[in-house]
Structure 1
Amino acid sequence: MIAFAEARAQAWRIATALCAVLAVAAVIAALWFRGSAADALRDRDSAAADRDAARAQVDALTKARARDDTAATAAETARATVDQHTATSNDRKAAIEVRYRDRIVQIPADCPAPDADLVREQSAQAERLSAAEDRLRRVRPAAQAGP
């Protein structure tokens, strides 16, 4: 009987030691899972911050692209307008030169002064051309800096 009581006491000691080992293992596992959960939360927060930063970059790039498209359209319109004004001005100048050449033949050699209408028209054309060139100089650097 004593041997059975000793075996039973020994079994309780072994069971107690085993429970203690299992409890320590459970505490270690809980701490490991807690650390893993903290890492996962930190990774999730980092991923959310990265996602928000990427969205902000995409929004900024979308707005920049829209601004670039608007600037390119405005620059192209300005270029077309300047080209049209330049062509018109060149045509007017050519017409003035033709009239001027025609008048040279008709003007006597001792003419005291140039034709006032011709000089006025030529200076007006020169002013229009100069204004168009000034506008083009202002538009081209902005258009070249855009894209």
Structure 2
Amino acid sequence: MKITGALAPFLGLIFLAQLFVPSHAEDYARYPKVKILASTYVTHRWSATGRYRQVSKNGRRLGDFIALNFLPGGSIVMIPTLFKTTKLEVADTFGGSGRGYYKGAKYWKVDILRDKGEWIDDFDHPLDLYIVKYNKNGPVKNQQVRKNCEMFDPK
């Protein structure tokens, strides 16, 4: 079937747009996915002495960082529901098992560092986290975190 007339250039543009516009769903499909519960932690002047001391200074975040208990430090993750295509670095681990409950089911917990006045939507349901890069040699805080990391180690 041959397309002629005024529609031909228009259909050609649509075809080209499909080739060059990135499809984020396809990008996410190649990464391992984990269901998580997200919470936020606001930076303040004491953040430089607490758990985020290496990633904040004078109450300001130095980059896009999260804390969790199932990946080693330096690993890279994405949470598209909250941050679209922004990649986040695992900065630290926090105490406890790193798991939370939602409607009787267990999920991994993620703590997101944000600056004062910065808005991040709070979701009270599990979200998808994609593991972009697993940093096998990254730091872990304790034996419990090391056990958690072994569950996700892509050997």
- TM class by shorter-chain length? under 0.3
Alignment TM-score, normalising by the size of structure 1: 0.22
The higher relative CO (CA closer than 8 Å, separation ≥ 6) is in 1
**Greater share of residues in strand:** 2
**Greater share of residues in helix:** 1
